[in-house]
Amino acid sequence: MDLSELERDNTGRCRLSSPVPPVCLKEPCVLGVDEAGRGPVLGPMVYAICYCPLSRLEDLEALKVADSKTLSESERDRLFAKMEEDGDFVGWALDVLSPNLISTSMLGRVKYNLNALSHDTATGLVQFALDQGVNVAQVFVDTVGLPETYQERLQQRFPGIEVTVKAKADALYPVVSAASICAKVARDQAVKNWKFVEKLQDLDTDYGSGYPNDPKTKAWLRKHVDPVFGFPQFVRFSWRTAQSILETEAEDVKWEDSETGDQEGPGKIKSYFSESPQTCVRLPHRYFQERGLESATVL
């Protein structure tokens, strides 16, 4: 799977897709939707679709696809490679949503929660398949939130398609299992090959599982939090675990709307500037370098 576009810019979203098998343009197709990486505090979330003709569904089942969470990494890679080999009747597409995109969406002035982001991404992928000419007749989706509400929303959006939304759909429908494998393979590769734009000292790539309750993941977060600028873009800073670490490990900053005098104390922006020469040379943060800003000696 070629994730070079994501490696060039991992701050937004990236869409990848296979060629559309010619048979999928003619015959009615079944399409599955699933995601990988919804819960972790580290790395992207990936949504994927997989589709094949209804007449070839038994061939897809014969690949022994299963819920990606029940498979080892090597098994997932093998099954994805097999689906690529069977590209004459199996197609896929996916959206990789960066941690930065997820967190800025959730913490923006207009809130865009994870469920809404997930629903819109799944809808966008189904529409993408239709725009590519795939003859979609049935859609199966692993639910986010209440399945009845989600199914009604998708059915209204795609009135000519039979839509089924179920909890644990990745364990019930092979085409959703196949989508879950595509999503998980992409996320694993994205995490393994993540390009850090920040110049981190003593970067440790042993993140643990990436889930908020993993002690190794928490230790990694504490090690790589900047007291002023927070976390690298690999981190979903909107997660409660990340916010708790910021509260204990980072500096408090109090922004004044108007000048109130030269009051000293923690949290003032003046505390980040020094009136005396630095005793050691330290490169400025990437934020300042990109904007050509230099440290001030007098405020």
Q: Where are the alpha helices (DSSP H) in the chain?
A: 4-8, 22-26, 57-61, 73-85, 99-106, 114-131, 147-157, 169-172, 174-192, 215-223, 240-249, 286-290
- 152 is known to lie in a ligand binding site: no
Handedness of CA 63, 15, 184, 179 (dihedral sign): negative
- Tell me how far apart the alpha carbons of residues 130 and 277 are, in angstroms, rounded to a whole number: 62
- 34 is known to lie in a ligand binding site: yes
Give me the amino acid identity at 278: Q
- Tell me how far apart the alpha carbons of residues 248 and 227 are, in angstroms, rounded to a whole number: 10
Give me the amino acid identity at 234: F
Give me the amino acid identity at 130: L
The CB density around residue 177, as the number of other CB atoms within 10 Å, is 28
Q: What is the DSSP letter of 168?
A: T
- 61 is known to lie in a ligand binding site: no
Annotated binding site: 34-35, 142
Annotated binding site for a divalent metal cation: 34-35, 142
